Structure 1
Amino acid sequence: MIFQGRRLTSDQVADLAADPSLTARLLDREDDVLDLDKAWHGIHFLLTGGSWETSPGAGEAVLGGDPVGDDLGYGPARLLPAERVQLVAAALREVTADSLRTRFDPAALLAEGIYPQVWDDEDFALYLLPNFSSLQAFYVAAAGEKQAVLLAVT
C-alpha cells in the first residue's frame, strides 16, 4: 500500500465532479504528485494518535477528504476541497520535527497495527521525518495556489 496525493486546480476539481472516473488518471500524472510510499500510515498516526480516525486540520492530511470515484485498491480516492487544504496547511505549519519525535513510539505503532508494521527508532529520522517534510511542503504549496488535493492509498 502506498499513498499518493495530487494538487488540483479548480478546473480539475470541476472535471472530477463531472466525471469521478478521472481519479486514477489524475493520480497517474507526474506533476504535482506526492508519493509517501509506505510512510503514510505512520505519519497519520503521529498526526492523529489513531490508526484510521481523522480530525480537522493536520489530522486530515493523509486520510481526510470525501470519497470520490471507484475503488483504487484500498478504497476510493478522497478529495479535500481548497478550503480544507488551507486548514490542513495551516495546522501542518505548526508541526515540528521535535513535536513529531515526542509522539513517535515504536511499540504503540506496532500495537495499533500501523502499516507496514516494521517500526524501530531509526524509522523516525530515516523514513517518517523526510516523508512528513514532503507532505508539509506539498500542502503549503497547494494552499498557496488555493488548490484542492486528491488523496489515495493504492
Structure 2
Amino acid sequence: MAMSYLRVPPVLEGERDPAAIARLLFGAADWRRKNPAASVLDLGGTWQALHYLITGDPWDGRPPESDVVCGGRLLTEDGAGELGVDVIYLAPDRVKPAADHLASTPYGDLADRYDRAAMAAAGVQDADALKPEPRSLQPAYDGLGRFFQAASDEGQAIYKVMTDRA
C-alpha cells in the first residue's frame, strides 16, 4: 500500500460532506495532476514506518501524533467506497494540533525508534527493505511537517489516500 495526501479548504464548492468531497476530488485517476503540486504529498510505501516512528506503534497511537499518518475519519465507510481507494479525512481542527506536534518534535527525537528488525516484528510494511541509516526517513518526516504546517496556516483539511502500489 502507498499513501498520498491532499490538502484542501474545509468546504469545497459549497459541499460540506467529506465523503462527497472525496468523490469529487478522487473520482479521476489523474487527481494528482489536477491539483497544485504544493497541495499533494506522496509518502509511497514509507507511510507506516513514519507512523511507527511518530507513535511507536504500526497502527495506533494518541492524537495528535497518530493523526499525522493513520488518524482521521475513514470515508470509505461513509459512501466513498466506489472510488476503489481508501480515503481518510482529517478535519482542520485536527490538522493544527498535528502540525504543532510535528513542529515541536524534531526528527532526532524519533530516530531511536528506527530499528528495522523491531519494525518488521511489529508488522510495519516493508520494514526490512528500509535503508539501514536512521536518517533515511528524515526527508519524508520534514516534508510532512511542512505539509501539515501549510495546511494549518491556511485552515485546510487533509485527505489521505491509500492505494495499492502499481
Candidates 85, 90, 94, aligned match of 1:80: 90
CA RMSD between the two structures: 2.2
Identity among equivalent positions (%) equals 28
* TM-score, normalisation: structure 1: 0.86
Alignment map for 1:7-86 (pairs within 5 Å) = 7-12=7-12, 15=15, 17=17, 19=20, 20-25=22-27, 27-28=31-32, 29-31=34-36, 32-68=39-75, 69-70=80-81, 76-86=86-96
| Structure-1 residue corresponding to 2:146 | 137
Amino acid at match of 1:88: A
- Give the deviation of 1:106 after TM superposition: 1.5
Contact 1:77 1:153 (C-alpha < 8 Å) held by counterparts: yes
* TM-score, normalisation: structure 2: 0.81
Over residues 41-60 of structure 1, what are the superposed CA-to-partner deviations in whole Å (9 max), with x where a residue is unaligned?
A: 10000111111114211211
Contact 2:27 2:83 (C-alpha < 8 Å) held by counterparts: no
C-alpha change, 1:35 and 1:103, in structure 2 (3 Å) is same
Over residues 60-111 of structure 1, what are the superposed CA-to-partner deviations in whole Å (9 max), with x where a residue is unaligned?
A: 10111101122655x6201111000011001111111211112211211111
Candidates 116, 122, 136, aligned match of 1:112: 122
Question: Structure 1: which 5+ residue stretches go unaligned?
Answer: none
- Give the deviation of 1:11 after TM superposition: 2.5
Give the Cα separation in 2 of the matches to 1:72 and 1:131.
Answer: 26
